[in-house]
Amino acid sequence: MRDYNNYDYLSVSVKSDQLGRILQGYRALGWTEEKTEDDRQYYDMKYVRLRRPHKIANKDRLQYLQVRMERSINSLVEITKRAHLRSTSLGALLFLAAAASLACGLWLAIAYAGGNAACGGYFLCGLAGVFAVLCAVICPVLRRREKKQATEKIVEKLRLIQNLMQEAVSLCPAEPAPSDGFEEEASNG
């Protein structure tokens, strides 16, 4: 049974391989893990329930830091998804241009063999080769540049998350770990 008078509750779905990192961030914000289970729909996700005391010092600032942390974590996913968007799009466009030029050029060269249109067909076949070479040269260079930019953005976001966690820890120091059943130190006598 949940005690809504004394605690706030939060449920999050997290990729299994990111669970430790995400929980570390929430712990820094004063949340404690209540339950973790496999997501019912996705095999690579975990469903985590967290709770935090309702009356906690610096709660407004902690909530602000939490929103910033969650936005930064979500932006990591977007950065990763879109890392090679331009190079992939340009590669697809150049490939389609090469294929269309080659098909049209071959059709003109075969259909009008020996005529003036056949020269246009040969030109289009040559243009297809130019598109293919451009694709082979430009796309890998663009892909490396995009990877470098994405890595820089990811490092920047990870630094931001680390700074947010450090600020959260300074606002909400972690509670001492519970002892193993011993409340007092043993006496020497």
Position 65 pLDDT exceeds 50: yes
Between the alpha carbon of residue 132 and those of residues 85, 122, 124, the distances in Å are 19, 15, 12
Work out the number of other CB atoms within 10 angstroms of the CB of residue 41.
8
Position 91 pLDDT exceeds 60: yes
Question: Is the CB of residue 90 less than 8 Å from the CB of residue 142?
Answer: yes
DSSP β-ladder status, 7-15 and 45-53? antiparallel
Q: What is the pLDDT of residue 174?
A: 57
Position 88 pLDDT exceeds 60: yes
- Give the closest residue to 161 by CA, choosing from 79, 83, 43, 44: 79
Question: Is the CB of residue 135 less than 8 Å from the CB of residue 98?
Answer: yes
d(CA 178, CA 89): 55
* 3-class state of residue 49 by DSSP: strand
Per-residue pLDDT of 22-63, as tens digits, reads 899 999 999 999 989 988 888 889 999 999 998 888 889 999
- In the predicted model, what is the mean pLDDT of the chain? 86
Of residues 1 and 154, more confidence is placed in: 154
Max mean pLDDT among 41-45, 93-97, 169-173, 184-188 falls in: 93-97
